[in-house]
Chains A and B, each alone.
Chain A
Amino acid sequence: MTSVVDSLLNLLSFTGLDESILLILVLHIPALSIFLVMVVNATVAVYMERKVAAFMQDRLGPMEVGLFGFKGGKKFWGGIGQTIADAIKLLTKEDIVPDSADKKLMLLAPFIIFIGAFLTFIAVPFSQNLVVSDFNIGVFYIMAMSSVGVIGIIIAGWSSNNKWSLYGSMRAAAQIVSYEIPIGLSLLLVVLVVGSLNLGDIVQWQAENRWFIFHSPFTFVAFFIFFISVVAETNRTPFDIPEAESELVAGWMTEYSGFKWAIFFLSEYANMMIVSIVASVVFLGGWLSPLAIINVGIPDSWMIFDGPFIGILWLMSKAIFLIFVMMWFRWTFPRLRVDQLMYLCWKVFIPFCLANLFFVSIWELIGGLFFK
């Protein structure tokens, strides 16, 4: 598939400028749009989280703050402008820095995490031909870039000069680095079957055959291991030990306030969006419509609803469903202790993933003889 940058370059080639100058001009558009996507995502996700949490806890959530005069009243869409009010509050809040903290590192940490999330968005596709840069090592690039965030967390915990923050960031580092292995191994399964690291090729394969989650019992298990591991990667409950509210106040983010905290927050929700989109693209068929699975004999063009614009709709609904499941987890389960978390990763997930890899290879070999 062609990437957005390529199509923009083609569009503006009539100006006759030099390729590199055109590139520099064109790159601003995807950059700004990714930033916009991150901000809108955070706004919607925070509102969704508060409403989902409230309804699960038998209360109503934000109900007062309206948007441009639309209050929503006593119905479901009560406090629809709440996040905008929160954002304005965070931006105008006083920035408190503890006296003995390392100021330069404290300033650096949120931006490292933000850069990690931002750079990952480059390879994430939103539909056919709607990806900022079409890497042919897409999966590998996403895994690599999402690891950059760990550095930011460690720097944040260390520079706060607070023993509890240090605890939180050490736990976070151990957790994130360990859980990358099951993620990589589960993605490896998919790459093994498809034969390419490019995300567009993976969806193309799923369009021709079937969605990965239904492909074989091993990829079915791999989806669940992948999903639980990404919940651990993004530090959500039941794996939110680094920011465990009742133990460490806010863990490694304790000493941050105002704008820097808003950046942390933005990156956390951006991370959730990234992993949900990657999970949908790789396992759930990406921008393919689920109606294609049920072939009922009605003409294709009507039932399948494929197309670049409808594709965004399907991808987003799958991603939002996975985000909803992550929020559902947060309000249902208690949190795991650090050593139980590590036990789960190293002694349960990794052996399962390795066994999965072994069996999938055999399945492909033998199944290919029978089922192709």
Chain B
Amino acid sequence: MYKILDKSIIGADEMVMNMGPQHPSTHGVLRLKIVTDGEIVSHIEPIIGYLHRCFEKHCENLSYEQIVPFTDRCDYLAAMHMAHGYSIAVEKLLGIEELPERVEYIRVILAEFQRIASHLIAVGVFGLDVGAITPFTWTLRDRERIIDLFESVTGSRLLYNYIWPGGLAHDLPPNFVQKASDFLDYFEPQIEEYNNLLTTNKIFIERSADIGVMPVDVAINYGVSGPTLRGSGIAHDLRKDEPYSIYKKFDFDVPVGEGLMGTVGDCWDRYYVKVLEMKESIKILRQALKTIPDGDVKSAIPKKIRPKKGEVYSRYETARGDLGLYIRSGGKNMPSRLKMRSPAFCNLSVLNEISAGWMISDVISILGSLDIVLGEIDR
């Protein structure tokens, strides 16, 4: 931490810098208004809204089935999670309790693959922000293989429109389980390579440990969730606390930040939690791929989705945190109000609190560790 000097003695002017919407490292169109004293930051104001596409207003004119592709486009790096969360919310609203086993297994498998893919980008981009360019290309190379798997299942690489309320669009291709297991066998030693290059690198540790420490009470007051919250030491994971779908059947741990290289809750912890979560996802995937049952994936899809009057608030654990969907239904086949509470929205609001007193290079590091996607912040 650096102390901001007493202005009355020196009388230096504060400089207002603009890290504009077009910038190589703001993860999308985000504008940061930074008030600095030399290199030390005294106040940051994130200005969002550059990617606002009126998702919530559109949803009031679309039927429940038609909303699924729109949810994909909110968080485009974890599209399966968005669709899965939305499907669970609509199923709660309709009162559907049980889905065919095969549907649940396939949904969990795809969600965990998506979690690995999203964390690969988060890890690679964090390295890129700090200056290490090579791990970024390696993580993208591995993510390409996951995207190839998705392409063989759904037909598209990034925005899938596959998980529908009540089931799936179509069944898996015949050799998917074999290809998925081969990928897992290839991928597990790669995590060790990333650790060698980035996690235990002295320069990387100096750039990220002890920086941007987020105490637990600040995190909870700001509504932070996901790996960002778990990096501060609390084991809050919706997959364990209130298991939805079939997560009860799988055996996995919830990694938390322990301050191995610095203080608990610094950027290194938030980064390392993501690396460990990839390993946990591999565990879940191996268990799921072994015991996937047969069945019909389209049998539970309702002919017409027309829920009764009422509201539901449903939570889901995406790669970035806690997705909340508040749906109000007026009895028609279109929602009367659909609100999406995206995890990155609350994660970004904590930026001002944890970066006061650090230098501009550290702001980049902290922003990278918060792992935001502007698509879901602006919707």
B138 touches A58 (CB 8 A): yes
Asked whether B15 lies within 8 Å of A247 as measured between CB atoms, the reply is no
B99-107, B335-343, B356-364 - the one binding chain A: B356-364
Tell me the bound Cα distance from A246 to B137 in angstroms. 15
A residues 296-333 with Cβ under 8 Å of B?
331-333
Interface size on B, residues (CB 8 A): 29
Chain B residues in 8 Å Cβ range of A245: 24, 131
A247-B25, A247-B360, A249-B23 known; A335 and B131 CB under 8 Å? yes
Q: Report which of B138, B141, B201, B359 forms a contact with A337, defined as CB distance below 8 A.
A: B359
The count of chain A contact residues (Cβ–Cβ below 8 Å) is 27
| Whole-angstrom distance between the Cβ of A96 and the nearest chain B Cβ | 16
Q: Give the chain A neighbours of B198 by CB distance below 8 A.
A: 334
Q: Could you say which of A167, A237, A247 contacts B364, with CB atoms under 8 Å apart?
A: A247
A247: nearest chain-B partner, CB-CB = B364
A338 to B359 CA separation, bound complex (whole angstroms): 9
Q: Would you give the shortest CB distance from B32 to chain A, in whole angstroms?
A: 12
Complex CA gap A340/B361 in Å reads 11
- Bound form: Cα–Cα A59–B127 in Å: 18
Minimum distance in angstroms from A77 CB to a CB of chain B: 22
Q: Which residues of B contact A332 (CB under 8 A)?
A: 132, 134, 197
**Interface: A101 (CB within 8 A):** no
**Chain-A contact segment, one of B202-210, B232-240, B261-269:** B202-210
In the complex, the number of residue pairs spanning A and B with C-beta atoms less than 8 Å apart equals 73
Looking at the assembled complex, report how far the CB atom of B219 sits from the nearest CB atom of chain A, in whole angstroms: 25
A244 near B133: Cβ-Cβ < 8 Å = no
State how many angstroms separate the Cβ of B4 from the closest Cβ of chain A. 15
Assembled-state Cα–Cα distance A91/B360 (Å): 35
- Asked if B128 is at the interface of the complex by the 8 Å CB criterion, the answer is yes
Q: Give the nearest-CB partner of A245 in chain B.
A: B24
| Cβ contact within 8 Å between A334 and B134 | no
A56 and B127 contact, CB distance less than 8 A: no
Asked if A339 contacts B359 (CB within 8 A), the reply is yes
B130 at the interface (CB under 8 A from A): yes
Complex contacts, B130 vs chain A, CB 8 Å: 246, 334-335
B22 smallest CB distance to A (angstroms): 9
Cα A340 to Cα B203 in complex, Å, equals 10
Partner of B131, one of A56, A249, A333: A333
Say yes or no: B207 contacts A336, CB within 8 Å: yes
Give the shortest distance, in Å, between A110 (CB) and chain B (any CB): 23
Q: In the complex, A244→B359 CA distance in Å?
A: 14
Q: Give the residues in chain B near A237, CB-CB below 8 Å.
A: 131
Asked if A215 CB lies within 8 Å of chain B CBs, one says: no
Does A240 touch B at the CB level, under 8 Å? Answer: yes
Is B191 on the interface with A (CB-CB < 8 A)? no
Instruction: Tell me, yes or no, whether B39 is within 8 Å of chain A by CB.
Output: yes
Instruction: Quote the shortest CB–CB distance from B368 to chain A (angstroms).
Output: 9
A238 at the interface (CB under 8 A from B): yes
Chain B residue contacts of A340, Cβ below 8 A: 206-207
Which of A59, A238, A247, A333 meets B361, CB within 8 Å?
Answer: A247
Taken residue by residue from 320 to 364, chain B's Cβ proximity to chain A (1 for < 8 Å, 0 otherwise) reads as: 000000000000000000000000000000000000000111101
A-B contact pairs, 22 of them (CB 8 A): A57-B134, A57-B137, A58-B137, A58-B141, A59-B137, A163-B15, A163-B17, A164-B17, A167-B360, A238-B203, A241-B361, A245-B24, A246-B364, A247-B25, A247-B360, A333-B132, A333-B201, A334-B132, A334-B204, A335-B207, A337-B207, A338-B39
- A-side residues, CB < 8 A to B, are 53, 56-59, 163-164, 167, 237-238, 240-241, 244-247, 249, 331-340
**9 new A-B contacts at CB < 8 Å, known A163-B15, A244-B361, A336-B203:** A53-B133, A58-B138, A59-B137, A245-B131, A246-B131, A334-B132, A334-B203, A334-B204, A336-B207
